[in-house]
Chains A and B, each alone.
Chain A
Amino acid sequence: DGGITQSPKYLFRKEGQNVTLSCEQNLNHDAMYWYRQDPGQGLRLIYYSQIVNDFQKGDIAEGYSVSREKKESFPLTVTSAQKNPTAFYLCASRRGSVNTEAFFGQGTRLTVV
């Protein structure tokens, strides 16, 4: 059953700690994306990757880091430098880089406590 899996669904982090969100896909998609959703602000792009071992910053990359060591995996690390990390994080992938739909995971709700 192909799809995108994000884990965990809920995550709590203490201030000052780094935390890594997992995203795995078995759709054989080349491109993968991380978005953040906040109330009233839609989906904002954090990082994206078109191929393995390459990635680009999105509109709100500060305080985040990613890696793309495998085609199937695109983990996102929320660092202590991210000032407002509490949000709903969404991972997506798509077959090509243009003119195709993206498929999303179920999201991870990160709360800083």
Chain B
Amino acid sequence: EIVLTQSPGTLSLSPGERATLSCRASQSVTSDLLAWYRQKPGQAPRLLIYGASNRATGIPDRFSGSGSGTDFTLTISRLEPEDFAVYYCQQYGRSPWTFGQGTKVEI
């Protein structure tokens, strides 16, 4: 199975700052079929990005995804208060679908 490793484990930033989150795959992700989610405490994850770089419906343009092959990045250009949460990457190019272990963005 494809193992996704996210870094850093925790990112300490302030509102208005830029966040850069990394997701590295143990083997190439088929057709760059990689998604990003944000999860707030006590809630289900919410889809942010699919296909490595496509924003999901209703997601503001401060979120952007990039990368291909084995290295992917989620960038949040200016952190809003609701962005302090945990972020997961997920690959759906090859079964079993797998998630990274998460990056916590904290104040």
The answer on A and B forming one complex is: no
- Interface of A with B (CB < 8 Å)? none
- Interface of B with A (CB < 8 Å)? none
